Chain A
């Protein structure tokens, strides 16, 4: 069972349905017992980093994500969920993240292209990973964000995306991984990625 962590942020129905569409069992839950027992976790997130971090801590479910990471259980971060896995977010002040990967989350520069970035953009694969099985270089995914990750350890970066700046769009470290885009809204490619996550042993 995959537990999609519900800490009061965003609409998680599509994530659950997308897993269902690829034959994986996933359930939206805020129940600590269910999250502890789950084989894998999905950490979603939408909106501002600080607000997501605050709500995740307030729910007390941040400890369960850390626990899963320590036990080497797979965790998949989606959008702000991936950003939360880094050290800190610079969105309306500086907010601490979970620190599962080294780096910061900063705003796209003012003199660059339109912010937020909304729409379909491609990935540039840097290193192989089970999450990227069958998803070649140039695959399009649906992105919506104004902030991007500056990763300190390039070993954590599986793929980059180009929005004037080339930034990490898929990251992984040990059993935790995450994507900056929305796989549940990225049609066949997104479903494939979720199926890959569901298949990780």
Chain B
């Protein structure tokens, strides 16, 4: 039976892990290879490296890191962050990554998903979606019309919501730039489109839940999981083991991305797996 996956996420800056598990016995906790090796031995099913390097020389650094990880750890791993072109994708895969994750670049140019899928196979293309719930009284942006005082009007003095909220199902909007900028896309529609264009998986992050440690946005996770037939990886908000269970069962996710739940050393990946197995989920 296909097992549910636990995927630790590591933030990497200039080839150094800046957010990962604080393994006390690691000689060099910032070394991606040492971290990857340790996650591997703890039973991680896959790894995600998120490159947050701002500088333009990040490409060579990332390629070198990917090569070193691929040469030492024999589990699948994904690299995301700063990937803009099909050539970027090809380079990362050629260096030894199994998948690339694209976000803003895919929103700007959805054809990139198809290009990547054709060149590398759908299985190598993960589309990351940052989602925020659209609330009933969400402020309507007027299009930046200057009202004279230099300040921009962000809301109208009356509600534009055409449907009473309790009658309409919840909707979510796609965001870019770490959840700060709305992309003007509906999450469900975008997820379906990404699948049509050739994405192999969706990495779905709730920007509302991210960092709260109150659990995944289960309604969102479930809605996207039901809308597409490719696997969905739930992300954002896990603070205890029960949250992982909820994401995989109620949320219908195929995998859970876990960052901070492991970073504080409260649980090991193996403990999480034992817990989920005891609750009846298939785990490796």
Hey, which chain A residues are within 8 Å of B40, CB to CB? 187
Contacts A11-B94, A17-B71, A185-B76; is A118 near B231 (CB within 8 Å)? yes
Contact B230 A191 (CB under 8 A): no
Binds A, one of B1-9, B160-168, B179-187: B1-9
Hey, which chain A residues are within 8 Å of B122, CB to CB? 116, 146
Task: Looking at the assembled complex, report how far the CB atom of A55 sits from the nearest CB atom of chain B, in whole angstroms.
Answer: 13
Interface residue tally on B, bucketed by range = 20 to 34
Q: Decide yes or no whether B274 CB sits under 8 A from chain A.
A: no
Contact B200 A121 (CB under 8 A): no
Contact A14 B1 (CB under 8 A): no
Contacts A121-B1, A185-B76; is A114 near B229 (CB within 8 Å)? yes
Hey, which chain A residues are within 8 Å of B201, CB to CB? 118
Contact A113 B2 (CB under 8 A): yes
Task: Looking at the assembled complex, report how far the CB atom of A17 sits from the nearest CB atom of chain B, in whole angstroms.
Answer: 5
Q: Decide yes or no whether A142 CB sits under 8 A from chain B.
A: yes
Interface residues of B in 37-80 (CB under 8 A from A): 40, 45, 67, 70-71, 74-76
CA distance A116 to B231 in the complex (A): 8
Contacts A142-B76, A185-B76; is A119 near B2 (CB within 8 Å)? yes
Contacts A17-B70, A190-B74; is A116 near B230 (CB within 8 Å)? yes
Task: Looking at the assembled complex, report how far the CB atom of A133 sits from the nearest CB atom of chain B, in whole angstroms.
Answer: 18
Residues of B within 8 A of A (CB): 1-5, 40, 45, 67, 70-71, 74-76, 93-96, 98, 120-123, 200-201, 229-231, 254-255, 284
A-B residue pairs in contact (CB < 8 Å), sample of 21? A13-B95, A46-B123, A47-B121, A113-B2, A114-B230, A114-B231, A114-B254, A116-B122, A118-B123, A119-B45, A119-B254, A120-B45, A120-B284, A122-B1, A140-B284, A142-B75, A143-B2, A146-B122, A162-B1, A185-B74, A186-B75
Q: Which 9 A-B pairs have the closest CB atoms?
A: A47-B121, A120-B284, A144-B123, A120-B3, A140-B284, A121-B2, A185-B76, A17-B71, A13-B96
